Amino acid sequence: MNREGYVGILRRVKTPADVRGLSTAQAVQLAAEIRTFLVKNVAITGGHLGPNLGVVELTIALHQVFDSPRDTIVFDTGHQAYVHKLLTGRSDFSSLRQREGLSGYPSRQESEHDVVENSHASTALSWADGIARGYRLRGGPNRHVVAVIGDGALTGGMAWEALNNIAAVKDHPLVVVINDNGRSYAPTIGGLAHHLDTLRTTRGYENFLDWGKKTLKRGGSPGRLAYEALHGLKKGLRDVVMPLGMFEDLGLKYMGPIDGHDIVAVARALRRAKDFGGPVLVHVITEKGRGYTPAEKDTADRFHGIGPIHPETGLPIAPSRFGWTSVFSDEIVKIGRERDDVVAVTAAMLRPVGLAAFADEFPDRVMDVGIAEQHAITSAAGMSFAGVHPVVALYATFLNRAFDQVLMDAALHRAGVTIVLDRAGVTGDDGPSHNGMWDMALLGVVPGLRLAAPRDEATLRAALREAVSVEDRPTVVRYPKGPVGPALPAIDIVNGVDVLGRWQAKEYRGEAANRDAAAAEERPRVLLIGIGAMAVTAVTAAEDLAAEGVDVTVVSPTWVLPVAGGLLDLIADYSIVLSVEDGVVDQGIGERISAAATRAGFTGTFVCRGLASEFIEHSTRVQILTDQRLLPADLADEVRRAAEVEAN
């Protein structure tokens, strides 16, 4: 067990029952110990530090009031559940987000206290609504459901669909806790944010009470009357469940706003909400990064998710290498300078997707829609109709949520929209929900859509420029997480397809040297197709095969959807073709190329390699590629097996 920072009261807390037995002073001390633990441990492994520092007292209060797992607590988004893990007996953070270590999100495999692996935002309220309805229908002992949702996640439309339905069932034993820190990955935007700002800052009874106190000190009778009247109402106004504003319009009862770092106040509010007997919304104000000076002073939200850092300063131990996101960030700014019709759209992730520099230079040409990918795509289609070219930058995993909008709003209407997918393919340590492995298979069914999978810096820059030049259909540019690999310039272009290398079989020694020309002609001719970041893997595999006497060529088409006719013409000259991609192999790019080649008359062997259609647990990229048999040696083995089959 990792004991770093694991002292005092925290050492004795192994179950939520231990939390419920603490005095107020002990709970406050526990909060301080948890913050020390998180900073010291997450500094070593990396992870979501800022969100968890902000919910320490809130999570302690939740476990003081509710009886998990009998009562169900659902976190949205789940990266704020580290404190919950600690209070439910998971104290070994030494391998957080590493293979066989703790997940960075709630995980049913880890604990009965975890219900939803909730790393896609805005879903917790729907989960909570369904669980509460199920409990009511099944009858039995009274069980409560709590959904903890950030103000950022409330910008997602699914959350409001859920709230609409939650409010319709008056005896729902359901408590919605809004963890309001004014941020998601970035400052929360939109009408909801303004409304919460108003609730945060407009506490009329308290302002009037303060005025009464001051006037009373000066001997003013109006002040005395105001003070006496409001003092009597103070308890009711602050603590009694009451409706407010747009939440009242929905039919929800509202409590707050409450200082989320006051354990006593939060616990008191949660108890009243629990006892109410119907759906209640508890509005809690917290500070992201609370108690850690570097995070409190940070304005760029660098501590939302971090790599290993020096805990004393918050500075990274190893500076980030130049990555794919940085290339996009640089190139989109250059394009923006050349074309004033190019605008950028982000879904609450301005900095993570590399649009901060564009926003700094062109603040009027950036739209942050909040956690609302569906709205982002359809709004972009509308902007295209109005004569501008929107570039929508998302994590690849989050495009899954907006597939219908890509299909029916962008593609059906032939909208000139460019979608840039960061963290496509294998992402690793964020776990199964964040691997951006579904995009190419999903988008392959969209009529007219063009998709590019660049292999290096130069092809990313070129693909982005070509994408924004297309005005009669949606275009997609996808690239992986992490540093950019080596430059892979084309040595030739055949039928419009980049050829990365040709390796002729080396002369055999001994008996092989005496083979006649006819026998040499029978050696299989192998074509490797490297899709995107897997092109370098294909090149390495080709070098290994060539050393064994195999004639092999490697190509890497940047634009992979739709399948280019030139690639099909090239394939016809080979007897064995192998494609490799970092997306799901089923219905992936390789299978589409194979099907098109077969229709064009190809009769050789076509091998498709990619990720299995399964949820891949958190590991490093190398570990995942090893498990999936997507290393160069694995590709070479596939070619050898295919050659043996052909020979027989």
**What span, in angstroms and rounded, lies between the C-alpha atoms of 125 and 116?**
11
| Phi-psi sector, 601: left (phi>0), alpha (psi -120 to 50), beta | left
Residue 615 tokens, joined: 């949820």
Across 108-125, average pLDDT: 84
In this prediction, residue 319 carries a pLDDT of: 61
Among residues 373, 457, 581, 591, the one annotated as catalytic is: 373
In this prediction, residue 138 carries a pLDDT of: 83
CA dihedral 162, 168, 170, 173 (to 10 degrees): -20
- Contact partners, residue 545, CB within 8 Å, separation at least 6: 503, 526, 552, 636, 639, 640
Q: Output phi, psi for 34, to 5 deg.
A: -65, -40
Across 449-454, average pLDDT: 98
> Does residue 215 carry a pLDDT above 60?
no
pLDDT band at 214 (very low <50, low <70, confident <90, very high): low
DSSP annotation of 456: S
The CATH number assigned to the domain with range 324-478 reads: 3.40.50.970
| CB of 357 closer than 8 Å to CB of 333 | yes
Annotated binding site: 79, 119-121, 151-153, 181, 292, 373
Alpha carbon separation from 66 to 73, 82, 148, 175, 240 (Å, rounded): 8, 18, 13, 11, 19
Query: What ranges do the domains of the chain cover?
Result: 8-297, 324-478, 492-647
- Please write the tens of the pLDDT for every residue from 603-636: 999 999 999 988 888 878 889 999 999 999 999 9
Among residues 90, 302, 351, 401, the one annotated as catalytic is: 401
- Contact partners, residue 63, CB within 8 Å, separation at least 6: 16, 19, 20, 84, 87, 88
**What's the CATH class of domain 8-297?**
alpha beta
Alpha carbon separation from 415 to 326, 380, 466 (Å, rounded): 27, 8, 15
Active site residue 288: yes
Active site residue 373: yes
- Please write the tens of the pLDDT for every residue from 300-336: 667 776 677 667 667 776 666 579 999 999 999 999 9
Among residues 85, 288, 351, 478, the one annotated as catalytic is: 288
At 145 the three-state DSSP class reads: strand
Active site residue 268: no
Annotated binding site for thiamine diphosphate: 79, 119-121, 152-153, 181, 292, 373
pLDDT band at 422 (very low <50, low <70, confident <90, very high): very high
**What span, in angstroms and rounded, lies between the C-alpha atoms of 394 and 465?**
18
DSSP annotation of 322: P
Annotated binding site for Mg(2+): 151, 181
521 versus 305: which is more confidently predicted?
305
Q: Does domain 492-647 have CATH number 3.30.70.980?
A: no
- 221-239 vs 204-217: helix crossing angle, rounded to 10: 150
**What span, in angstroms and rounded, lies between the C-alpha atoms of 93 and 113?**
17
- The reply to whether domains 8-297 and 492-647 share a CATH topology is yes
pLDDT band at 80 (very low <50, low <70, confident <90, very high): confident
In this prediction, residue 600 carries a pLDDT of: 95
Q: Output phi, psi for 463, to 5 deg.
A: -65, -40
pTM for the predicted model, two decimal places: 0.80
Burial class (CB in 10 A: 0-12, 13-18, 19+), 482: middle
CA 139 to chain centroid, in Å, comes to: 36
Average pLDDT of the chain, as a whole number: 85
